[in-house]
A and B are shown apart, each in its own frame.
Chain A
Amino acid sequence: MSRRNIMIIKYLILLSLLSGCGTDGIQQASIENYGLVGIVGYDLETSDNNQYKVTVALPQSHPEAEELTQVFTVIDKEPYEAMLEIARKTEKALDFSQLRVILFSEDLVREKGILGIMERLYRDPNIGANVYIGVTKGPPEEVIKGDYKDKPQIILYLHDLMEPHLEATFRPFTTIHDFIYEATDRTSDPKVPYLEKIEGTIDISHVALFENDKMVDLLKPDEGKYMQAMARAKRLPSIGFNIQEKSGDEPYVALDLINSRSKIKSNGDLENPMVNIRLKLDGMAMSYTGEQNLEEANSRKIVEDAIGKRVEEECLKLIKKLQELKVDPVRFSESFRSRVSGDWSEDEWRNVIYPKVTFEVEATIEITSTGILE
């Protein structure tokens, strides 16, 4: 190819880049004109359970606006149609690429499966995979519209609250991807943080347990910690126990900065199913008020064993609760599925095998230090 031809091609390539500047009659909005949706909330309409109530929150950047956040609520049969209606209501071009949090009301998730709604959001290429999901006590609208005087605007506040941080590891950090994974996978059930609005703050007070895509029950934060420990969270927030001592006292001890490891092993026998769970927690002992001297190796061992016993009891109690609810957020079933060849049936596991599994928990505790005071 001659030099001239190459030059012409180079010019053509440069020219074609200019085409990005063209318009097709509808003006491309500039960034201020985009309504960047930060939160979407779904609720059931109280009078008619076939209607959805969709709430979206978007930041208002205009200097003359009094509120920093715009909130719209629309009622419609189709959640998607409701979004379009909101798009008609706002003066901005609605855009979901900055979506951070999706909220569902407890009524909705208990009444209906939400996989349909989630699928629709998951399908949208504009929406990232790291959008957090929460269940709210009462309508999400109340949480979004709440008055949080000492907090930043609601979108930022809620996003920071839902983001993974160590002190909140008692509850899962469920993203849109995690939820869909766990709801559709044959060996797991979703678990979602549960939000309550208490006066001027939002409190993540419980963990909501799901059976596929329907909520069944709540776990308390303490139970949540054990669940997360068994489900292989690497770090846990501090856990407090009342341990049994020889003298009959029940002194309080807290473990802090916990590193946790867990191993779930099944016998692979669906007739006599058995699961062995080994937990290993090591952390710092805090505020121990009992009779043992933690500086001594022997007495430390006694305390460690006492804590271990406590953990085992709590775990077994939790497992029993999960068995009764027939939900498997820890993925016990995976330990069977990976050992049994042939097709795995989720229904059979839930209704026939799961209730009769015998669980065994062995917890090993190691106190790494006791703080800086004698």
Chain B
Amino acid sequence: MDKGKMEKLNNYHVLFLIQNVMISMNFIRLPHVIHESGRDMWLIPIAMGVIVQLLLIPMLMLCGRFPNETLFSINRKLVGKYLGTFINLLLILYMVISVTSIVDDFIEVIQTIALGRVNKTLLFIPLLLLTLYILSGGIKTVARTCVLAFFMTVWMIYFLNWTFEPAKFTSVIPLFEVGAKPFFHSLFLGFESMLGFELVLFFFPFIINKKESFKYVTGGVWLTVFIYTLVCLACVVYFSEWQIGNIRYPILSILRAVEFSFIERIESLGLSLWIFLILSTISAYLWVAKRGITDLSSGKSQSWQAYLVVMLVTIIFFLPIDRVTRETLYEWNRYFAFSFILILPTFLLITNLFRGGKPS
């Protein structure tokens, strides 16, 4: 591998990294989460795509001004050492809690659907060990995991054709039955499934071809939007509104109906392969957290930093707090993500412009 070189990520790495970090646990229940928007729900991913596209502009402008630095060092440079370090700590915590919530969520789904009797710990340990292994290879291994995850799971889209009965296609005509308020509420609730694109702020310095990166980041985002839209369309055709409102994992329910003579219950297979999507997401988040700790300490990447972030995840995962507190923690984490991706890049960009606009 190209150790020692800073720039490691090819164009297609960027595309799949963005695309796969976005798709994780939230996607499995996305149609259910946005069910308030009724039969217009397939417009929501498109709307979310537009919002993400707008948010990407200040992010990549900021990155373009500091082509060799991650957000952690940009923070320290622009808002001062102490405040910057404080923000960095928050960011590390955000990454770690995000990972915990994804893992927690995944284990819950696995326990509901496939392995009801298996202990949480036994599912948690191999997942995190695998992540640790991916982390040891650096960002390029993370990106390669993303490419692998994409091709291991993308064929499942084929099964959506089970749902597309021509007789029911009139249901997808957008009539705006529900009005603006539920629509925007669903947009807000559903936006968490777009989170992940903000990681570009951290791996931007590792991209080889920085000038064209905007194109590939956009490509990754819209690939995700395309998949989301397709699944939402399938759900609108296949489920009644009551069903979408009540089925927690609509994608798995679609797979449940797939019938072959040689294999039954594809959803167990689908759920097992979902682990690729989880792995790619959590390893990317943890890589960023590790990077943050690198930045806090010596500035040199060392393996104890990876152990430390995994340890943090483990601690939060096994914290003896009840379900409600845990959910609140994850919810606040989400709000933090929303505000962070909305405000921070723009704020830093403006600060930079006021300070003379010159990249330091």
Interface residues of A (CB under 8 A from B): 1-2, 5-6, 9-10, 12-13, 16-17, 19-20, 24, 97, 125, 128-130, 175, 177, 180-182, 184-186, 231-232, 331, 334-335, 337-338, 340-344
Q: Which residues of chain B are near A341, meaning CB under 8 Å?
A: 175-177
Which residue in A19, A125, A182 is a CB contact (below 8 Å) of B113? Answer: A125
In the assembly, what is the distance between CA of A102 and CA of B239, in Å? Answer: 21
B319 near A: Cβ within 8 Å? no
Which residue in B122, B177, B257 is a CB contact (below 8 Å) of A130? Answer: B257
In the assembly, what is the distance between CA of A186 and CA of B171, in Å? Answer: 11
A129 touches B171 (CB 8 A): no
Q: Which residues of chain A are near B239, meaning CB under 8 Å?
A: 181
A6 touches B177 (CB 8 A): no
Instruction: Check A338/B171 contact, CB under 8 A, given A177-B257, A184-B240.
Output: yes
B356 near A: Cβ within 8 Å? no
Q: Which residues of chain B are near A19, meaning CB under 8 Å?
A: 119, 122
Q: Which residue of A lies closest to B246 (CB)?
A: A119
A192 to chain B, nearest CB (A): 17
A180 touches B240 (CB 8 A): yes
A96 to chain B, nearest CB (A): 12
B239 to chain A, nearest CB (A): 7
In the assembly, what is the distance between CA of A153 and CA of B206, in Å? Answer: 65
B50 near A: Cβ within 8 Å? no
A186 touches B241 (CB 8 A): yes
In the assembly, what is the distance between CA of A140 and CA of B180, in Å? Answer: 49
Interface residues of B (CB under 8 A from A): 112-113, 117-119, 122, 125-126, 129-130, 132-133, 136, 166-168, 170-171, 173, 175-177, 238-243, 253, 256-257, 259, 264-265, 303, 306
B240 touches A343 (CB 8 A): no
A89 to chain B, nearest CB (A): 23
Q: Which residue of B lies closest to A1 (CB)?
A: B136
Q: Which residue of A lies closest to B116 (CB)?
A: A125
Q: Which residue of A lies closest to B242 (CB)?
A: A184
Q: Which residue of A lies closest to B133 (CB)?
A: A9
Q: Which residues of chain B are near A24, meaning CB under 8 Å?
A: 117
Q: Which residues of chain B are near A337, meaning CB under 8 Å?
A: 170, 175
A9 touches B129 (CB 8 A): yes
Which residue in B125, B241, B242 is a CB contact (below 8 Å) of A16? Answer: B125
In the assembly, what is the distance between CA of A331 and CA of B168, in Å? Answer: 9
A12 touches B129 (CB 8 A): yes
In the assembly, what is the distance between CA of A20 and CA of B132, in Å? Answer: 22
A105 to chain B, nearest CB (A): 25
A279 to chain B, nearest CB (A): 14
Q: Which residues of chain A are near B243, meaning CB under 8 Å?
A: 180-181, 184
In the assembly, what is the distance between CA of A180 and CA of B136, in Å? Answer: 49
Which residue in A10, A177, A331, A342 is a CB contact (below 8 Å) of B167? Answer: A331
New A-B pairs, 15, CB < 8 Å, besides A13-B126, A125-B112: A1-B136, A1-B303, A2-B303, A6-B133, A9-B132, A16-B126, A20-B118, A125-B113, A177-B257, A180-B243, A181-B238, A232-B167, A331-B167, A334-B168, A337-B170
B259 touches A130 (CB 8 A): yes
Q: Which residues of chain B are near A185, meaning CB under 8 Å?
A: 240-242
In the assembly, what is the distance between CA of A298 and CA of B201, in Å? Answer: 76
B31 to chain A, nearest CB (A): 15
B142 to chain A, nearest CB (A): 14
Q: Which residues of chain B are near A232, meaning CB under 8 Å?
A: 166-167
A335 touches B176 (CB 8 A): no
Q: Which residues of chain B are near A344, meaning CB under 8 Å?
A: 177
B188 to chain A, nearest CB (A): 22
B303 touches A16 (CB 8 A): no
Q: Which residues of chain A are near B306, meaning CB under 8 Å?
A: 1
Which residue in A5, A10, A129 is a CB contact (below 8 Å) of B256? Answer: A129
Which residue in A5, A17, A334 is a CB contact (below 8 Å) of B170? Answer: A334
Q: Which residues of chain B are near A331, meaning CB under 8 Å?
A: 167
Q: Which residues of chain B are near A128, meaning CB under 8 Å?
A: 256-257, 264-265
In the assembly, what is the distance between CA of A210 and CA of B306, in Å? Answer: 60
Q: Which residues of chain B are near A17, meaning CB under 8 Å?
A: 126
B120 to chain A, nearest CB (A): 12
B129 touches A13 (CB 8 A): yes
In the assembly, what is the distance between CA of A9 and CA of B306, in Å? Answer: 13
Q: Which residue of A lies closest to B252 (CB)?
A: A125
Q: Which residues of chain B are near A5, meaning CB under 8 Å?
A: 136, 303
A74 to chain B, nearest CB (A): 24
25 A-B pairs in the complex with CB atoms less than 8 angstroms apart: A1-B306, A2-B303, A5-B303, A13-B129, A16-B126, A19-B122, A125-B112, A125-B113, A128-B257, A129-B256, A130-B257, A177-B257, A180-B240, A180-B242, A181-B238, A184-B241, A232-B166, A232-B167, A334-B168, A335-B170, A337-B170, A338-B175, A341-B175, A341-B176, A343-B177
Q: Which residue of A lies closest to B113 (CB)?
A: A125
In the assembly, what is the distance between CA of A184 and CA of B166, in Å? Answer: 20
B17 to chain A, nearest CB (A): 21
Q: Which residues of chain A are near B166, meaning CB under 8 Å?
A: 232
